[in-house]
Amino acid sequence: MKKKGAKKHRGKSAAHRHNAPRKIRVGYLSDAFGSGAWRTFLPAFFLGADRKRFELYAYHTGPEGDTELFAKEAAAFRTLGAYTAREAAEIIRRDAIDLLVDLSADAPPPLIREIFAAHPARHLVSIAERRPAELVDALPSVDGYADFVPLCYTPLDPPKNYVFRTPLLERGTATIGFVGRADETLREEIVALCCALFSSIPDVRLILPAEIGGVLTDADIERAAEMGTDAAELFLADEISYEELDIAIGIAADPAQICRTLEYAVPLLTAHPFAGGAYAAGILAAVEPDEEIAADTSALAVRAGVLLRDAARLSELHELLRWNLHDSPLADSGAYMFTVERAYDRVLFGVKERPHVEEHEAALMRAETSKDWARVAYEARILDGCGALAPAGRMSLAWAYFFLNRKVLAARWALAAEGVPPEREGARLFLAIASGSLYCSQAELVALAQKGLSEIEAERLSVSPEVREALCKACADYGADVLGAAAAARYAEMYAACASDHLMRRSYYSTALMTMNAVDVPPAEICRRSVGYEQFFAGIRPYTHTGRRKKEKIRIGYISGDFREHVMQYFIWPFLAGFDRDSFEVYCYSLGKTDQYTEFFKTLVTAWRDVSADAAAPAKIAARIYADEVDILFDLAGHTARSGLPALAWKPAPVQVSGLGYMATTGLRAVDYFVTDRYCDPPGAGTDIYFVEKLLRLTSQFCYNGYTHLPASEGTPARRRGYIQLASFNQYVKITDEMLRVWAEILRRLPTARLLLKNAAYAKKGVVRAAHDRMKRLGLDMSRVQFERATRDYMLRYLDVDIALDTFPWPGGGTTCDALYMGVPVVSYYTERHSTRFTYSLLANIGLGDLASERLSDYVETAVMLAGNLDLLDALHRELRDRMRVSPMMDQERYIREMEGCYRDIWARRETEQGFV
């Protein structure tokens, strides 16, 4: 009877005790929300949080500053600096916080310590390395991650440039800068280190900032200087200039200082007397795994000397450290918060619910049986908090998140479910792949998908067709930057062949065609693949247009998903703003996202139709166009994303045209004309056979609308800088091995030149490291190659470029125009294939066709010639914008009148063939 009574006293079952789970309220306490270097570690707690489970409160105890980001992301932002600890604790207590987390840098300041002493929340945790253990708990480890560094680097103001080329290669003498802070207790060790460095590296320059050098006496400095040669130097500076440094020495450097140094790509060495604690050591281990902390100052000096004498190793560190930092767990806010929030569950449920594990397991099974996925997630998180969620339970949680449409979490939990029975491995693989989001690196995701496909082909893994579809789709989606365009196109074709959904089959066939533009194959092969697109429209009934009503004006329809901030905005302007309103009407059919550009474009045309809601139903779009009685329909996107091309299969307009946004035949025989020019498809050259459409040859198929507010080039930057800056801002997928070998030869011929590569792919985890290794293997001197992510001010970056190198077989279009407009000549290579000739066409239309070549050897010679003739290069930089403005390439009036002349001609031919009412 006592046992029965005890059981009754314990309370209701798990399913009833947690009947209506509410959000867990987490409070973050910090004095750095407004300012200070430590702010760089705080955004992840807000930007990476699971908002479905957690409600975030922020408590700021420091001075006022820029707290906007945190105030915006928190459910409530409270400034507590003016309150006493007792008052601040009462404010927190009234907020009913479940878990209060101290985000202090090293040790909580007095106010935060006193707040914790008042115990204002049910659970108290601190990430501070020197937390007051008697007041607050540490963040518990998860899955054995005892060495987990509870910091996530999210710089609010990252440096734009980094020291990708060690200065030692230019100066011939090494510069070492000290980073961190020092007090009197470290003075003797610092002097000993300086002496050891001067002894082992005779001509070294040492730079000590005030925070470190300030503890040294004149006698200390003289004592150290006596150990150096006449060429050695010791500087005391107000602060460190990272651009000067070959190596940094950490002197009690905190995590923010370490990350800042690594962000600049400067190798940082330290010794145990100067180590900044376990967190600092953890950061260095994550980013510089091969550079161990030295035992003492003598060993540190030896290690610095060894590194400075190893030019290859020193160069590689400078080339890659920034990207190693970005690729490390320290900069992955999603993965970081996944682990942190699991640790929160340990705090919230570990003690309280551990006696009830069996009840929660039973509740989880019942919820899964009834497909109550919210309950499954809730019970599973409690079990994980108790450290009792086995691989099978993790799979249940992954499925719950999948059905709750939280697929990134589904993928993370599927990966965490390693060890499930073999019959569930296919489902685990599916969940890990099918998130539709890049929650890890592209390379990791593609490797996982390829491994699964290999296991399926070898019949070692039995899966449903949906799993194979998902694996093919992942390789198609993420393979281009990892495997190259040819492999990505093959995977897109595989997915187009096996997908169960007709829309996806059609869409990925287009993806394969689009990707093939980066593969060097004959134009006949592109045409052959393109005409296969028609298979997706077999059996449809196209509209007929006999007996159409003749209108006063010719009605032109433009269809695209890119009526927004997009490269196409440069080229569609004349169609929308310059048309002859006495003779034409313009209807636009928009399938894409809208922004301020969209809103402006709407004001320019006769009628605007937002058909984005019917993007998956091209028959409906076609019906809309047909009802609008459009005479000539112009598809501006071809096989690119969010294209309206499928609607043209229904022939909603009597005459249909394609071009500008795509670079090969559409493959649709319902499209009558393709817009090109005499340079991309010279008359009589025989390229017409590679199109199912008739070719409309303009003077220039492109008309560029440059920004008027951008400064013009004042001459080639090489004159003031002393070396040639080559660059390519084209997409990474366009950069082939063949062109990289050519660029390597150009760098060999120009031994002081440097190469800047800038595009969006370099912001993705792992891409720069893979690109670096690939380019090094192909012969590029990587100490002269700089990578940059795409930025909104990228046009201004052209002012630092002397010569732009074009890609092949997929050259620049918008990027070529941008370079020329900013005064940068572009060197290009082309063949007979239409898509390879874009840059040639643009150059020929401004009288510089000789910068494009039909042989790769001439491409090299042209780049070398330009680099060797600074007078010519300088003149081109000053003249290019004016050349463009007076050329067909920017003559909008001439362009639209010529285009409208084509409209009139083809409509007149139509009128002679068909009768009108």
Query: Model confidence over 386-424: pLDDT tens digits?
Result: 999 999 999 999 999 999 999 999 999 999 999 999 999
Q: 3-class SS at 35?
A: coil
Q: Which of 369, 658, 289 is nearest to 510 (CA)?
A: 658
For tokens 């199912």, the residue is 692
Helix axes 407-415, 333-349, angle to 10 degrees: 80
pLDDT at 8: 37
For residue 20, the tally of other CB atoms under 10 A from its CB is 4
pLDDT at 436: 75
Asked if 24 contacts 55 with a C-beta cutoff of 8 angstroms, the reply is yes
Contacts (Cβ under 8 Å, ≥6 apart) of 395? 413, 414, 417, 420, 424, 427, 428, 431
Q: What are 481's two structure tokens?
A: 């930057």
Residue 146 has pLDDT above 70, yes or no: no
Question: Sign (positive/negative) of CA torsion 895, 901, 903, 906?
Answer: negative
Residue 5 has pLDDT above 80, yes or no: no
Determine the average pLDDT of the residues in 256-281.
Answer: 94
DSSP letters, 380-391, are HHHHHHTT---H
Residue 733 has pLDDT above 60, yes or no: yes
Average pLDDT, whole number, for the chain? 94
- pLDDT-derived band of residue 11, with 50, 70 and 90 as boundaries? very low
- pLDDT-derived band of residue 6, with 50, 70 and 90 as boundaries? very low
Q: What are 238's two structure tokens?
A: 């107000």
* CA–centroid distance for 827 within its chain: 27
User: Between the CA atoms of 532, 536, 540 and 543, what dihedral angle is there, to the nearest 10 degrees?
Assistant: -70
Using CA atoms, how far apart are residues 245 and 223, in angstroms rounded to an integer? 23
Determine the average pLDDT of the residues in 308-314.
Answer: 97
- Which domains does the chain possess? 23-138 (3.40.50.11380), 168-331 (3.40.50.2000), 350-513 (1.25.40), 536-698 (3.40.50.11380), 718-890 (3.40.50.2000)
More confident call, 828 vs 159? 828
How many helices (H) and strands (E) in the chain? 39, 24
Residue 709 has pLDDT above 50, yes or no: yes
Q: What are 869's two structure tokens?
A: 């003739």
Among 84-98, 126-140, 647-661, 805-819, the minimum mean pLDDT is found in: 126-140
DSSP letters, 357-368, are HHHHHHHHHHHH
- pLDDT-derived band of residue 676, with 50, 70 and 90 as boundaries? very high
Percentage, residues of the chain above pLDDT 70:
97
User: What does DSSP assign to residue 731?
Assistant: -
Q: What are 633's two structure tokens?
A: 């329909």
For residue 423, the tally of other CB atoms under 10 A from its CB is 9
Using CA atoms, how far apart are residues 58 and 32, in angstroms rounded to an integer? 11
Is the link from the previous residue into 809 a cis peptide, with omega within 30 of 0?
A: yes
* CA–centroid distance for 107 within its chain: 35
Q: 3-class SS at 540?
A: coil
Residue 14 has pLDDT above 50, yes or no: no
Q: What are 814's two structure tokens?
A: 């918008």
Q: Decide: residue 881, CB within 10 A, 0-12 exposed, 13-18 middle, 19+ buried.
A: middle
337-372: pLDDT as tens digits: 999 999 999 999 999 999 999 999 999 999 999 999
Instruction: List the strands of the sheet with 785-789, edge to edge.
Output: 785-789, 754-759, 725-728, 803-805, 826-829, 852-853
For residue 525, the tally of other CB atoms under 10 A from its CB is 13
26-81: pLDDT as tens digits: 999 999 999 999 999 999 999 999 999 999 999 999 998 999 999 999 999 999 99
For residue 141, the tally of other CB atoms under 10 A from its CB is 14
How far is the CA of 745 from the CAs of 611, 721, 742, in angstroms? 49, 22, 5
Helix axes 278-287, 255-263, angle to 10 degrees: 20
Beta bridge mates, 30: 60
For tokens 């609607």, the residue is 647
pLDDT at 145: 64
Q: 3-class SS at 658?
A: strand
Using CA atoms, how far apart are residues 453 and 445, in angstroms rounded to an integer? 12
| Beta strand extents in 535-691 (DSSP E only) | 554-560, 584-590, 607-610, 632-635, 655-659, 673-677
Asked if 505 contacts 499 with a C-beta cutoff of 8 angstroms, the reply is yes
Beta bridge mates, 79: 60
Asked if 259 contacts 321 with a C-beta cutoff of 8 angstroms, the reply is no
Q: Which of 487, 515, 484, 510 is nearest to 499 (CA)?
A: 510
* CA–centroid distance for 312 within its chain: 29
Asked if 834 contacts 812 with a C-beta cutoff of 8 angstroms, the reply is no
Contacts (Cβ under 8 Å, ≥6 apart) of 305? 197, 200, 201
For tokens 């209108």, the residue is 551
How far is the CA of 251 from the CAs of 37, 106, 211, 261, in angstroms? 17, 15, 10, 13
Asked if 644 contacts 622 with a C-beta cutoff of 8 angstroms, the reply is no
Residue 769 has pLDDT above 90, yes or no: yes
For residue 181, the tally of other CB atoms under 10 A from its CB is 18
Using CA atoms, how far apart are residues 301 and 885, in angstroms rounded to an integer? 59
Q: What are 421's two structure tokens?
A: 């029975």
pLDDT at 739: 98
Contacts (Cβ under 8 Å, ≥6 apart) of 224? 191, 194, 195, 198, 234
